[in-house]
């Protein structure tokens, strides 16, 4: 796929983003000036050793966390100007999260887990179940809709989590070590599923230190000590 021409604005733009924490008297700098653009329909892998700032970067991309300094734009809007409610709305409508440990809510069935974002979207009750089932069909898990997360295998749990991330049809899918808790074969399945979603137009950003998984992305950004060390495009 040829790179998109310049005029179209990026989905996400980071410019000199710094994220620093105060830990008592000391100051920990997790991100020390990261600039990055993510275009619609891209598949990007963020790689790097632990402590390089991968997860912090993902939190900022997911609007769970705010930059201490620098600019962060989502669809051309500056994220810094949004209040907490607006950020929640942005996460709900525009961003889907996939976590390493799936983070399904144990007391809810698979379908109810997938429906959770719809509660916060304010969707009317009758559309919940059909939308949840559509999302589950996309990940091939519709037959497990009424099961509890504890009854699922790891691969199925991650599929359910992906369905939950997709149910509000977000512009950006963020995956944090999506295969980290899975065996190789199952990890491969999930990786293929993400490829397939990307092939159908989804923008996928994944954080991993799994080289095999990272190489499946069309663009790999490597972080070290809170800075972009290298960026390769294939």
Partner 1 sequence: MSPALVVLLRLGARSLRLHKLRSSLSILGVVFGVAAVVAMSSVGEGARRETLAQIAALGIDTVTVKPPPPQSGEPTVSLPLGTADSLRRIVPGVRAVAPLRVADLTADAGGRTTAVIALGTTPAYADAARLEIAAGRFLADLDVTDRKRVAVLGASVVRALYPLESPLGESVRLAGDWYRVIGVLQERASPRARGTAIRARDLNRAVIVPLPALDRGASRQADGVDEIVFRLAAPEAVVSAAVVAQALVRRTTGAAPEVVVPREILRQRERTQRVFNVVTGAVAAISLLVGGIGIMNIMLASVAERTREVGVRRALGARRRDVAAQFLVESSLLTVTGGLLGSALGLVGAILIQAFAGWPTAVHPLMLVVALVVALGIGIGFGFYPAWHAAGLDPVEALRRE
Residues at the site binding partner 1, with contacts judged by CB under 8 A: 59, 62, 64-65, 84-85, 88-89, 91-93, 97, 99, 103, 105, 107-108, 116-117, 119-122, 124-125, 164, 168
3-state class (DSSP) for residue 5? coil
CB of 40 to partner 1, least distance (A): 21
CB 201 within 8 A of CB 194: no
CB of 170 to partner 1, least distance (A): 10
What's the first-to-final CA gap in the chain, in angstroms? 10
Q: Which is nearer to partner 1, 39 or 89 (CB)?
A: 89
77/81 Cα distance (integer angstroms): 8
222/227 Cα distance (integer angstroms): 8
Name the packing angle between helices 125-138 and 154-166 (round to 10°).
130
> How many beta carbons lie within 10 A of that of residue 11, not counting itself?
20
Q: Which is nearer to partner 1, 7 or 81 (CB)?
A: 81
- Please, which residues have CB within 8 angstroms of residue 173's CB and are 6 or more apart in sequence? 95, 96, 98, 165, 166, 194, 197, 202, 203, 204, 205
Q: Which is nearer to partner 1, 80 or 105 (CB)?
A: 105
90/105 Cα distance (integer angstroms): 22
CB of 70 to partner 1, least distance (A): 17
CB of 77 to partner 1, least distance (A): 17
CB of 72 to partner 1, least distance (A): 15
Q: Which is nearer to partner 1, 75 or 121 (CB)?
A: 121
Q: Which is nearer to partner 1, 63 or 191 (CB)?
A: 63
């Amino acid at each position: 796929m040829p790179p998109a021409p310049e005029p179209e604005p990026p989905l996400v733009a980071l410019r000199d983003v710094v994220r620093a924490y105060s830990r008592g008297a000391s100051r920990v700098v997790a991100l020390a000036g990261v600039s990055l653009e993510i275009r619609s329909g891209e598949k990007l892998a963020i790689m790097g050793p632990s402590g390089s700032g991968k997860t912090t970067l993902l939190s900022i991309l997911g609007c769970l966390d705010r930059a201490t300094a620098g600019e962060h734009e989502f669809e051309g809007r500056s994220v810094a100007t949004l209040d907490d409610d607006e950020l929640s709305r942005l996460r709900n409508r525009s961003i889907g999260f996939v976590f390493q440990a799936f983070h399904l809510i144990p007391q809810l069935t698979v379908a109810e887990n997938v429906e959770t974002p719809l509660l916060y979207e304010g969707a009317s009750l009758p559309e919940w179940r059909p939308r949840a089932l559509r999302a589950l069909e996309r990940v091939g898990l519709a037959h497990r809709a009424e099961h509890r997360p504890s009854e699922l295998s790891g691969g199925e749990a991650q599929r359910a989590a992906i369905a939950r991330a997709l149910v509000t049809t977000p512009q950006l899918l963020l995956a944090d070590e999506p295969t980290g808790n899975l065996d190789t074969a199952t990890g491969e399945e999930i990786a293929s599923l993400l490829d397939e979603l990307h092939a159908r137009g989804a923008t996928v950003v994944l954080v991993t230190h799994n080289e095999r998984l990272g190489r499946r992305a069309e663009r790999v950004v490597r972080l070290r000590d809170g800075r972009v060390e290298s960026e390769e495009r294939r």
